[in-house]
Amino acid sequence: MGRLSVSLCGTELDNPVIPASGTFGYGYEFASLYDINCLGSFSFKGTTLKPRFGNPTPRIAEANAGMLNAVGLQNPGVDAVIREELPRLREVFHKRVIANVSGFSVAEYREVCARLDREEQVGWLEVNISCPNVHGGGMSFGTDPILAAEVTRAVKAVTAKPVLVKLSPNVTDIVAIARACEDAGADGLSLINTVMAMRIDLKTRKPVLANVTGGLSGPAVFPLALRMVWQVSKAVKIPVVGLGGVSSAEDVIEMLLAGASAVQVGAANLKNPFACKEIIEALPAVMDRYGIQNLKDIIGGAHG
C-alpha cells in the first residue's frame, strides 16, 4: 500500500480522506466533476427507515468561517436508497461506502442497519446518534451513555459489518459516551457531528433558520473537534474517524496526530466541490514538508 494508506476497522483505505455524510449526497454531483474513486471512501446521506423531507426552509445560514444547517435528514428512505441510489453509485464509485444511518427509535436503527447489512457495497455502518436537527431521535441517543450503548448493541446484533458510532459534541463528557459505545461493541467512532448553534436576522429580529437552531460546521469548529478526537482516542482502543472543519492536507495530518485513523471532510465540499480531491493531492507534499514517510506512522503521534 502507498504512503497515504490507512486502515479502518481492518479494511485498508488508499488514503484517509472521506467525505462526511450529508455533504456529498450519494456522490453523483461530485462524480460529474472528478473521478471520486480517488477518495478513501465516502459516507452517504443519512438514511432513515421512511422517506423524509426534513425541516422547513430556510435551513442554511452563514457563520464566520463556517455554516449552519438544519436540513433534518432529508432522504428517500432505506428501501429507495438500496433500490435506486446504491446501483447508481456503483457505476461511479468502485470502493466500499460508509452507510450513514439515523433513526427515531432503537428499533428503527436496528431495522435500517439490518437492511443495509445485506448490501455488498456497504463496507461500514455509521450510526448517527448525533443529529442536532431532528426531534425525538437523533441526538437524544447520543447525549446519554445508556441510550448510546443500547443503540450500539441493537445494531451490532443485526450486522456483521463494522459499526462506527457517530458522536455529538453537544455533551458535557464525550469520553463517557465514547466508552459506553466501545463497551457495547462499537468497532469504531466518528466525531464530531455539528455543534448546535443559531443566528438571528437583525432586520426581522427572528432566528434565520426555520428550525430556530442548526448545526455549526466548517473551519470554525476544527479546534473543538480536534480536542475531542484527542480526548476520545486516548480513552478508547477502537479506531476514531476525525471530522469537524477539516479543509486542508494540514488539517488531515493534525487530526491523525490527535489520534484519528481516518478523516472526514464535510462543509469544505459545499464551498469547494473539489475539496477532497485537492486535499488528497496535496498530502504527499505536505507530508514531505513535515518529514512524514507514511500516514499510518503518525496516528496518535501527538499523544506522547
Partner 1 sequence: MKQTVFTIAENTPLNGRYSRLVLGGDTSAVTTPGQFVDLSLPGFFLRRPFSVCDWSETSLTLVYEAVGKGTTALRTLPVGTALDVLTGLGNGFDLSKAGEEPLLVGGGSGVSPLLGLCRRLVNAGARPHVILGFNTREEVILAEDFFALGVSPTVTTVDGSFGIRGFVTEGMTISHSYFYTCGPEAMMKAVAAKSPVSGDLSFDVRMGCGFGACMGCSKATVNGAKRVCKDGPVFQKEEIVWDD
Question: Of 21, 69, 128, 193, which lies in the binding site for partner 1, with binding defined by CB under 8 A?
Answer: 69
Residue 35 interacting with partner 1 (CB under 8 A): no
Residues 196-225 within binding reach of partner 1 (CB under 8 A): 218-219
Sequence letter at residue 177: I
- Structural contact between residues 251 and 220, judged by C-beta atoms closer than 8 angstroms: no
Report CA-CA distances (Å) from 24 to 21, 29, 59, 254, 266.
Answer: 6, 8, 17, 23, 8
Cβ closest to partner 1, residue 73 vs residue 116:
73
Residue 39, Cβ neighbours under 10 Å: how many? 24
Catalytic residue list contains 131: yes
3-state helix, strand, coil in the chain (%, to 5): 35, 20, 45
Q: Which three cell numbers stand for residue 88?
A: 447508481
Residue 61 interacting with partner 1 (CB under 8 A): yes
Residue 32 interacting with partner 1 (CB under 8 A): yes
Residue 270 interacting with partner 1 (CB under 8 A): yes
Question: Of 13, 67, 122, 125, which lies in the binding site for partner 1, with binding defined by CB under 8 A?
Answer: 67
Catalytic one among 9, 38, 113, 131?
Answer: 131
Question: Of 3, 11, 60, 196, which lies in the binding site for partner 1, with binding defined by CB under 8 A?
Answer: 60
- Structural contact between residues 181 and 152, judged by C-beta atoms closer than 8 angstroms: yes
Q: Which residues bind partner 1 (CB under 8 A)?
A: 22-25, 29-30, 32-33, 45, 53-54, 57-67, 69, 71, 74, 218-219, 267, 269-274
